[in-house]
Amino acid sequence: MESKSNYRVGITEKQVAFFRENGFLSIQRITTDEELESLKTTYDELFRRRAGEEQGLYYDLGAPRGHKGREVLPQVLGPDIHFPNLRQTLYYRNALELSSKLLGIEAASLNQAGLMIMQPARYGCETPWHQDEAYWNPEDILNSLSVWLSLDAATVESGCMQFIPGSNKQGVRWHRHIDNNPLIHGLMTDDVDPSAAIACPVPAGGATFHSPRTLHYTAPNTTGQSRRAYILVCSGPTSKREKVAHRPWQKEERDALAKAGIEVKVF
Ligand code: NI
């Protein structure tokens, strides 16, 4: 048996084929119990510090920028800026190896960017249906996926990931900002049939993978336990579209921020 510090996760051809067909995959474990405990400590410290708030790297994804109320969906962008050791974790390494197989791109050509999204106990709001690509540069053709590690047991009630199978093969839907408020960074689409959703509960230390176009959702956290997700976006080289995609919700947000006098360096 391999030592814990060399913990590796395998993936079958069948899982790769499932991911490419459906746009998502879940696995029961991506790191060790020991590392999970240390990740939880780092995670809680980052949220306690509101790490990077002045640089626009910490904010509430589900409520207007700069609001003073209780947070419904706080997130930390670039946690490894504060704790570079995160890049040396088994989680990073396994996420890289698995992403390489799922995307069919050499690991050496992949970049990894981290973010943490927390759904507080009994107060975490839903993450409405959306496709991640709606947030991205409309000039780019993406070659990426997101790895979503849950530090807590994720159930439907606590906000596990739910996906629409096959949506990865379709276009980017029309999106709008939550509450039609462009000061809320979170996007949503109404162009979805939630009855087709597949929920992917995972134990603590389990992970899901999804493509930039896979429609996904998490329900509000109605449990007494926070739902801490640590996401790694693994990206291969992008190429440029012939025609820039039409995503006016991005300009709406920039305009609303400028009007409100809120400077945001990172989106
Ligand atoms: Ni998303």
pLDDT 10s per residue in the chain (267 long)?
Answer: 445 678 999 999 999 999 999 999 999 999 999 999 999 999 999 999 999 998 889 999 898 988 888 888 999 999 999 999 999 999 999 999 999 999 999 999 999 999 999 999 988 789 999 999 999 999 999 999 999 999 999 999 999 999 999 999 999 999 999 999 999 999 999 999 999 999 999 999 999 999 999 999 999 999 999 999 999 999 999 999 999 999 999 999 999 999 998 877 665
pLDDT for 3: 53
E strand or H helix at 38:
helix 33-49
Distance (angstroms) between ligand 1 centre and the Cα of 217 equals: 8
pLDDT for 68: 84
pLDDT for 263: 79
220 contacts 124 by C-beta, under 8 angstroms: yes
What pTM value is reported for the model? Answer: 0.95
Q: What span, in angstroms and rounded, lies between the C-alpha atoms of 57 and 76?
A: 6
Q: Is 218 helix (H, G, I), strand (E, B) or coil?
A: strand
Write the single-letter amino acid at 181. Answer: N
Q: For residue 112, what are the contacts with CB-CB under 8 A and spacing of at least 6?
A: 87, 92, 95, 96, 232, 233, 234, 235
pLDDT for 266: 62
Pair of tokens at residue 242? 């012939």
4 contacts 34 by C-beta, under 8 angstroms: yes
Distance (angstroms) between ligand 1 centre and the Cα of 61 equals: 11
Residue whose tokens read 């807590």: 152
What's 65's DSSP letter? T
pLDDT for 11: 95
Distance (angstroms) between ligand 1 centre and the Cα of 3 equals: 34
Strand residues in the chain grouped as ranges (E): 24-27, 58-60, 74-77, 111-119, 127-130, 140-141, 144-150, 161-163, 176-177, 187-188, 198-200, 207-210, 216-218, 227-235, 239-240
Distance (angstroms) between ligand 1 centre and the Cα of 130 equals: 6
Distance (angstroms) between ligand 1 centre and the Cα of 48 equals: 23
Distance (angstroms) between ligand 1 centre and the Cα of 153 equals: 19
Distance (angstroms) between ligand 1 centre and the Cα of 74 equals: 14
Q: What span, in angstroms and rounded, lies between the C-alpha atoms of 129 and 107?
A: 30
Residue whose tokens read 């790191």: 31
Distance (angstroms) between ligand 1 centre and the Cα of 5 equals: 30
Distance (angstroms) between ligand 1 centre and the Cα of 193 equals: 17
30 contacts 94 by C-beta, under 8 angstroms: yes
pLDDT for 2: 47
Distance (angstroms) between ligand 1 centre and the Cα of 36 equals: 22
